[in-house]
Amino acid sequence: MNRNRRAKIIATLGPSSDRQEQIEELFVAGADVFRFNFSHGSHAEHKARMDAVRWVEEKHGRPISVLADLQGPKLRIGQIINGGIDLEEGQAFQLDMDDKIGDQDRAPLPHPEIFTALTKNTQILIDDGKILLQVVDIKDGLANTVVKVGGRLTDRKGLNIPNAVLPVPAITDKDRVDLQLALKLEVDWVALSFVQRPEDLVEARDIVKGRAALLSKLEKPSAIDKLDEIISLSDAVMVARGDLGVELPPEDIPGLQKQIIHRCRDAGKPVVVATQMLESMIDSPSPTRAEASDVATAVYDGADAVMLSAETAAGDYPIEAVSIMDRIVARTERDNAYHAVMKTTHPDPESTAPDAITAAARQVAETIDAAAIVTYTTSGSTTLRAARERPEVPILCLTEKKSTARRLVLVWGIHSVITQDVQDFSDMIEKACRIAKEEGLAQKGERLVVTAGVPFGTPGATNVLRIAWLGD
C-alpha cells in the first residue's frame, strides 16, 4: 500500500480502537504508526493490541511502526471529598503530604519532591491551567497558597509548575515495569514523557540498549532551554503541545513549534507534532476549520508526522479522524506553497560522504524528473539523511532489517520495504527497479536515483549514486 502523501499519521489506540478489525480500518484509512499510551490500559490490553497490529502488518505486507508512550513523572493531586470541590478566587488553600481526603481548605499532594522546588510566589497550575494557585509560604511538606483562578477541583487532576526544574526522574518505577513489557513486545519507538534535561535520556538508553529508538516529548520549558542537546541525544522529538501549552503562554507555542521543527530538520531527526490536532472529533464527525488549518500548518512547517490522541483512542469517530487527517495532509502537500517552502528550507549538508550523496540524490532526482529515490540501508541513517532533504519524490527504503524498516515508517516521505541485501551493482539496480514497480512508485520508462554504500551492507557507508531506468 502506497500512501499519497509524505508526512505520516500516528494514531493512538484505546477503548474506541483496540479490536483487530478497528486497527485494520485505521491502517487502511491512513494510520502509519500506532501509539500505545501507557498512562492507560493494562499490560494484557497492550499485548493484545500489539498482536492485532502485527496481524494487520502481515496481512497487508507493509511494515507498521509501534510507539510506546511512557507515562513519566505526571504530577497529580490526591483524592477530594465527594469527588470534587469548588475553589473561589482569593481563598486560602493548602497543599500538603497528609494522605487524608482533601476538603474545601486543603488537598493532598503526594509528591515530596515538589515541595523542595516551591518558593514564595511560585504559581501552580491544576487541570491543564484551569485552576491557578500562588504559593504564599512553604513549610516542610506543606504549601500555603491563595487561589488566583478558581474552578471545580476534582480527584487526581494533573499539576504543573511552570519554569521549575523538578527533582523527579524521567523514568518512574511504573515506567520501568512498562518499559520492560514494551521491549518484550518489540516496540519500535519509546517515547519519554516530561523530559527536562539531557541527562534524562542517558538512563533510558542504558535500559533500552538499542532495542528501540528513543523519542523525547517536549512538555517542559526547561527542556526548551536545553533543546539542541536533547535533540542531539534523541532519535526523534515530539512537540507535545498539551503540557507545554499549559506552562508557556499560548502565544509562544506557534513560534516554538516552528523553531523545534527547524532545529530537528537541521539535525536530521524526525519530529512529531501532537495534541488537540482534531480535538473536536472526539464527539463530532468533522473537525473545525481551525483544526484543519492546525494540521496543515504542521505539514507546511515540515513535520515528519502528526498525531491523533483521544480522537482515535476514546472518541466516537476514530476512523473518520484518521481519514480526514489523511486528506488534509495530502491536500496540503499538493499546494505549490508547500513545495516552495520545502525548497527554500533545505538544511546545509554536513561535510561527509553520506550527506554529499543524499543531497546530490535530491538534486539529481529533481533535474531528471525521477520517479523516486531508492536507498539501501542497514541502520537507517542514510535514509534519514535523504528524508532531511525533503525531496519532491518518494523515498523507497530497502533494508534487510525488519526493525529498521518499522522505525523508518515514522519518518517523512519514506516507504519501507524489507528485502535481502544486494550482492553487487547489477543486483542493486535490478532489485531497485523491480521493487519500485511492484510498490507502485515507478513504471516503465521512468528513472530512479539509487544510493548505496560499498562495501554493501556496511552501516553508514553510503558512497554511491546511480541513475536507473525502468525497462521491460
Residue whose grid cell is 473536536: 280
pLDDT in tens, 297-309: 999 999 999 999 9
159-163, 246-250, 390-394, 454-458 — which is least confidently predicted? 454-458
Instruction: Exactly one of 35, 49, 62, 74 is catalytic; name it.
Output: 35
What's the N-to-C CA distance of the chain in angstroms? Answer: 23
pLDDT digits (tens, 9 = 90+) for 15-39: 999 999 999 999 999 999 999 999 9
Q: Report whether pLDDT(56) > 90.
A: yes
pLDDT given at position 460: 64
Q: Can you tell me the distance from the alpha carbon of 440 to that of 396, in angstroms, rounded to the nearest whole number?
A: 11
Rounded CA separation 463/469 (Å): 20
pTM confidence score? 0.92
Neighbour tally for 215: CB within 10 Å:
23
Minimum mean pLDDT among 164-173, 259-268, 357-366, 443-452: which range?
164-173
Give yes or no: 184 in active site.
Answer: no
Q: Average pLDDT for residues 233-243, to the nearest whole number?
A: 94
Instruction: Report the distance separating Cα 453 and Cα 79, nearest Å.
Output: 59
Catalytic residue among 59, 76, 184, 334: 76
Write down the residue that cell numbers 527497479 correspond to: 433
Q: Does the annotation count 217 as an active-site position?
A: yes
pLDDT of 472 reads 58
217, 385, 388, 447: the catalytic one is 217
Confidence at 354, pLDDT banded by 50, 70, 90: confident
% of the chain with per-residue pLDDT over 90: 78
Domains of the chain: 8-72+170-337 (3.20.20.60), 81-160 (2.40.33.10), 353-469 (3.40.1380.20)
Catalytic residue among 12, 122, 145, 275: 275
267: left (phi over 0), alpha (psi -120 to 50) or beta: alpha
Fill in the amino acid letter for 396: L
